[in-house]
Amino acid sequence: MIYCEKPIYCWAMVIIETAKELIEYLKIYRNKELGFVPTMGALHNGHLSLIDASLQANEITVCSIFVNPTQFNDTSDFDKYPRNFDKDIALLAERGCDVLFLPTLESMYQRESLLSFSFGALECVMEGAHRAGHFNGVALIVSKLFNIIKPSRVYFGQKDLQQCAIIQSLIKDLSYDIEFNMCPIIREGNGLAMSSRNQRLSESEKEEAKALFASLELTKTNLLSGKSIKEAVDLSKEYLKNNISFELEYLEVANAETLQEIDSIEQGQEYAICIAGFLGRVRLIDNIVFVG
Ligand code: PAF
């Protein structure tokens, strides 16, 4: 969809389509605190909570919407990723976002990039292990966006917990002068974590999907009551089998910082329980973080 070649004004929000124009436009805000919320669109209340957090702490908030092809290991997932640009623009403008960066593919990728990122053990588990090349694509696009926008603060959702760890690692290792903020998961009334992908679920699947959060809570309760990790995970797998037709990819208990699997729970340590798999053809992820 073509919007405009020049920045256009939608309520008080500026929409910019190319990196060159955005860099030029942001020069007027050079000495201001700038908050940045990167997204792939199909916005929901989870994204809007990131915008709110940025609006509260910064003088100007930039949101980007770009369905980034290099982070999809499955082309049909990329093709089917929901795109609702008109609705997204209205939501952002209404919320008070100052600038929307809606780049074209050509503006972000002039050529196939030769860069590759390695995040060591962090990318060898969970999403990294199941989606080959995913974090390379994420790190590439996020670095490009950071270089173009030069934010003071960035806002990412906890739902993509491993992505948060990867971006924090990227910020440290590339010496970006950026404050990283991870914002809590926003859930539907039944516990389902909000996600753009939920738009592809039927109403009955959305109801069924509440079992994912319930399985995470069950794992936590069983761990805190002294069950071993194997026992707690097995009980939750059984619960999933009985409550949802979910093709489970992983249900893991990990150290909340390194995301490496652990053998036992120690008091006072922070842990993450993470789940991923397919409900029908839609891939869903969720997690909870708790103290042992
Ligand atoms: O979390 C997402 O929506 C994407 O991975 C991100 C950070 C916008 C990069 O494309």
Same domain, 54 and 80: yes
Question: Do both 137 and 217 map to the same domain?
Answer: no
| 260-285 pLDDT tens trace | 999 999 999 999 999 999 999 999 99
The residue to mutate among 47, 67, 73, 141, having the most atoms of ligand 1 within 8 angstroms of its beta carbon, is 141
If asked whether residues 161 and 272 sit together in one domain, one would say: no
Identify whether residues 144 and 257 lie together within a single domain.
no
From 32-41, 68-77, 121-130, the region with the lowest mean pLDDT: 68-77
Residue 4 has pLDDT above 60, yes or no: no
Q: How far apart are CA 182 and CA 220, in angstroms?
A: 21
Residue 191 lies in a domain: no
Which residues have CB under 6 Å of ligand 1?
38-40, 68, 71, 138, 141-142, 160, 163
Q: How far is CA 160 from CA 135, 163, 204, 242, 275, in A?
A: 11, 5, 24, 26, 11
Residues 121 and 238 in one domain: no
Q: Ligand 1, residue 145: give the atom nearest the CA.
A: 9
Which atom of ligand 1 is nearest to 196's Cα?
A: 3
pLDDT of residue 73: 87
pLDDT band per the 50, 70, 90 thresholds, residue 12: confident
- The whole model's pTM is what? 0.95
Looking at residue 133, which CATH number applies to its domain? Answer: 3.40.50.620
Domain extent for 265: 196-291
> Is 47 an active-site residue?
yes
| Number of domains, the chain | 2
